[in-house]
Amino acid sequence: MIMPPLQSYCQTILCLDFDGVLHRASDAIHLASGPTSGPLLAVQMKAQGRLVWLDHLVDVLADRPDVAILVHSTWRRKFDQATLAHLLGELGDRVLQPPGYFVDLSAPAPEFIRQSIDWINESRREAHVAELTLDEIVVIDDRAEFFASDDGVAARLLLSDPNQGLSVPQTRGRLAAMLDAARSDCAAPEHGVGPTSKF
């Protein structure tokens, strides 16, 4: 049985940063020169102590199978969808990354997110599925200033502590609540998400 594309049936999009969310923002990555496969890169990241809080995200999303992941992190400029999916391990099949010809990978995060939603909605229109809006996204990032130019996307932002990311239980709780509220928005647009929070 052929499954429909993820973008045509997901109900919520989690826009995910890596640095300051899945590991400390101050932890730079060191890449080997030359081509690097997804599996090798995953080993390198583990050896360098990166993505150490990924398991917390897995736990948050375990009971939310309708949440897809859009990587808006600057890592999107370094790695393609297959590599990003591999880095996210068991969450890899949730990754939605638009092709480079459809979006500007060098654009600021809010613009990239908006372009990506447009791409997702092309598939949803073809599948005769209701389009997603900003009400159905949740953005997690440790840098509020990256979103200052776009009030709409900023209103969907959960700020993480750049040194603790998803290791903080309150941040995970707030993320879960925002995802559930965004899912409710699909059926009941009058329900919104509260103001930006930081833990």
Contact indicator for 112, 13 with CB cutoff of 8 Å: no
pLDDT of the residue at 138: 98
Q: Token pair for residue 149?
A: 């130019």
Domains of the chain: 6-198 (3.40.50)
pLDDT of the residue at 83: 87
C-alpha 62/C-alpha 66 separation (Å) is 10
pLDDT of the residue at 32: 58
| Among 94, 134, 135, CA closest to 118 | 134
Average pLDDT per 10 consecutive residues for the chain, totaling 199 residues: 69 96 82 62 73 96 96 90 90 92 94 96 90 96 97 98 97 97 57 37
Residues 6+ apart with CB under 8 A from 49: 23, 27
C-alpha 37/C-alpha 172 separation (Å) is 30
Residues 6+ apart with CB under 8 A from 130: 124, 186
| Among 132, 133, 130, CA closest to 152 | 133
C-alpha 44/C-alpha 11 separation (Å) is 33
pTM given for the model: 0.85
